[in-house]
A and B are shown apart, each in its own frame.
Chain A
Amino acid sequence: MTSHDIVAALVVCQLAAPAATLVLVGLPALAGRALSEQATARIVGAGFAAGFLAALSVLGLLATRGFTPEIVHSGTWFAVGHHEATVNLVADALSVPYVCFSTGLCWLVNSFAGKYLHREPGFTRFFILLALFGTGMNLMVLSDSIDVLFAGWEFVGISSALLIGFFFERRNAIAAALRAYTTYRICDVGLLAAGVLIHRAVGAGDFERLFGAQWPHSTCLVSAGTATAVSLLLVFAALGKTAQVPFSGWLPKAMEGPTPSSAIFYGALSIHAGAYVLLRCEALLDAAPLARAALVVIGVGSALHASLVGRVQTDLKSMLAYASMTQASLILVEIGLGWRVIPLVHVVGHAILRSLQILRSPSALHDRHELEAALGGHPDLGSWSPLSWLPARAQAAVYRIALERGFEEMAVTRGVVGPALRLLERMAAAERAWVAWLGERPGRQEGSRS
Chain B
Amino acid sequence: MESTARLDEIRRAVEHAAHHLPAQGPIDVFIHHNTLHAFEAEPFEEAVVRAGRLLGTEPFLPESRYREELARGRIREADVEAVLAADMSCPAETAVAGGRVLLRDLYRALLLHAVREESDASVRWTLTESDVVERLRPDLPAAVHRRLMAASPADGPADERSVSSDLWHACVEAVAVMRSTVTRAATPVRHRDLLLAVDPTLDTDALVHPFLIRVCAAFLDQGVATWAMPGRERGLWPAVAELYAGRLGPREPWSKRLPAALRAAAGLPAHEYVARELDHLGVPPEHREAFITQSLLALRGWAGMIRQFEERPDRAPVAAVPARLMDFLALRLVCDRVAVEWAARHAGLRGPAANGTLAGLWWELRDRHPPRPTTGSVCRAFRLHQVAQLVGLTSHDIRALDENELLRLEHAIAGFDATTRRRLFHLAYERRHRIEILDALEAHAAVARPPAGPPPDAQWIFCIDERCESFRRHVEELGDGHETLGTAGFFAVPMYYRGLDDWHAAPLCPIVMRPSRTVVEVPRDEAVSRHEFRRSLRRRYGQLAGSLSAGSRTLFRGGLFTPIVGALAAIPLVARVAFPRLAARIGRTAAALAGRRIPTRLDLERSSEPGLVAGTLSGFDVDEMAGMVRRVLEDTGLTARLSRVVAVIGHGSSSRNNPHESAYDCGACGGGRGGPNARAFALMANDPRVRARLAVDGLVIRPTTWFLGGMLDTCATTLTWYDTDTVPAEHRAAVDEVRAAAERVAAADAQERCRRFETARLDITPAAARAHVEARSVDLAQVRPELGHATNAVCVVGRRWRTRGLFLDRRAFLVSYDPTTDEDGAILTRTLAAVGPVGAGINLEYYFSVIDRLGYGSGTKLPHNITGLIGVMDGHASDLRTGLPWQMVEIHEPVRLLVVIDASPERILAAAARVPAVERMVVNRWIQLVAWDPDGAGLHVFEAGRFVPYQGERRIQPVVERSIDWYRGHREHLPPARILAALGDHAREVRA
Residues of A within 8 A of B (CB): 108-109, 111-120, 167, 170-173, 176, 252-260, 303-304, 306-307, 310-323, 326-327, 330, 342, 345-346, 348-357, 359-379, 381-383, 385, 387, 392, 395-397, 399-404, 407, 410-411, 413-414, 418
Contact = CB atoms under 8 A, between A and B. Distances in A.
Contact of A173 (B223, B574, B864, B875): B875
Contacts of B863: 167, 170, 173, 256-259
B849 to A, nearest CB: 16
A373 B596 CA distance: 13
Interface in B846-863: 860-863
19 contacts: A111-B578, A167-B862, A170-B863, A173-B875, A253-B876, A255-B875, A310-B553, A314-B217, A314-B225, A318-B865, A350-B562, A353-B566, A362-B658, A363-B658, A370-B542, A372-B504, A375-B503, A387-B227, A395-B230
A353 B886 CA distance: 30
- The 7 tightest CB contacts between A and B, nearest first, are A349-B566, A374-B542, A323-B553, A256-B875, A315-B867, A307-B555, A346-B563
A22 to B, nearest CB: 22
Contact of A401 (B249, B543, B558): B249
Contacts of A171: 206
B665 interface: no
Given A252-B876, A418-B253, A374 B862 contact: no
Q: Which of B539, B861, B865, B887 has the most CB of A within 10 A?
A: B865
B252 A383 contact: no
B758 A118 contact: yes
Q: Which of A304, A342, A373, A402 has the most CB of B within 10 A?
A: A373
Contact of B656 (A366, A403, A413): A366
B197 interface: no
B866 interface: yes
A379 B546 CA distance: 8
A89 to B, nearest CB: 26
Interface in B868-914: 868-869, 873-878, 887, 890
A330 B555 contact: yes
A326 to B, nearest CB: 5
Interface in B815-837: none
A214 to B, nearest CB: 23
Interface residues of B, number: 94
B43 to A, nearest CB: 34
A357 B576 CA distance: 12
Given A111-B578, A112-B781, A313-B224, A407 B876 contact: no
B248 interface: yes
B246 interface: yes
A330 B543 CA distance: 26
A360 B875 contact: no
A45 to B, nearest CB: 11
A123 B27 CA distance: 28
A391 B572 CA distance: 43
Contacts, number: 289
A120 B860 contact: yes
Q: Dominant SS at the A interface?
A: helix
A326 B555 contact: yes
Contacts of B349: none
A320 B230 CA distance: 22
Contacts of A364: 224, 659, 866, 869
Contacts of B250: 407, 410-411, 414
Contact of B781 (A115, A372, A378, A387): A115
A123 to B, nearest CB: 11
B252 A311 contact: no
A115 B780 CA distance: 9
Contacts of A381: 223, 226, 546, 550
Contacts of A356: 569, 572-573, 576
A312 B224 CA distance: 8
Contacts of A366: 656-658, 661
Contacts of A385: 227
A307 B554 contact: yes
B501 interface: yes
Contacts of B868: 314-315
Contacts of B867: 314-316
A173 B865 CA distance: 13
A168 to B, nearest CB: 12
Given A255-B865, A396-B231, A376 B578 contact: no
B782 interface: yes
A255 to B, nearest CB: 5
Given A373-B542, A396-B230, 14 more contacts: A113-B781, A167-B862, A255-B875, A256-B876, A342-B563, A348-B567, A349-B567, A363-B656, A364-B869, A366-B658, A374-B545, A377-B503, A381-B226, A414-B253
Interface of B: 27-28, 206, 214-215, 217-218, 221, 223-231, 242-244, 246, 248-253, 318, 501-504, 535, 538-539, 541-543, 545-546, 549-555, 558-559, 562-567, 569-570, 572-574, 576-578, 656-659, 661, 758-759, 779-784, 860-869, 873-878, 887, 890
Nearest to A369: B28
Contacts of A397: 246, 248
A394 to B, nearest CB: 10
B252 to A, nearest CB: 5
Given A318-B876, A319-B225, A396-B230, A361 B555 contact: no
A352 B546 contact: no
A349 B564 contact: yes
Nearest to A378: B318
A165 to B, nearest CB: 11
Contact of A360 (B221, B248, B501, B576): B576
B217 A315 contact: yes
A383 B781 CA distance: 32
Contacts of A114: 781
A413 B890 CA distance: 41
Contacts of B227: 311-312, 382, 385, 387, 399, 402
Contacts of B224: 313-316, 319, 364
A140 to B, nearest CB: 22
Given A315-B866, A349-B563, A362-B866, A172 B243 contact: no
A448 B361 CA distance: 39
Nearest to A171: B206
A245 B89 CA distance: 65
Contacts of A320: 553
Contacts of B206: 171
A401 B243 CA distance: 10
A311 B226 contact: yes
A310 B225 CA distance: 8
Contacts of B248: 397, 400-401
Contacts of A346: 562-563, 566
Contacts of A407: 249-250
Contacts of A322: 553
A163 B784 CA distance: 22
Nearest to A306: B555
Contacts of A111: 577-578, 781
B577 A112 contact: yes
Contacts of A116: 781-783, 862
Contacts of A378: 223, 318
A411 B249 CA distance: 9
Given A327-B559, A349-B562, A411-B250, A172 B658 contact: no
Contacts of B559: 303, 326-327, 330
A316 B221 CA distance: 11
B866 A361 contact: yes
A348 B566 contact: yes
B458 to A, nearest CB: 34
A176 B210 CA distance: 13
B28 A403 contact: no
Contacts of A401: 248-249
Contacts of A400: 243-244, 246, 248-249
Contacts of A256: 863, 874-876
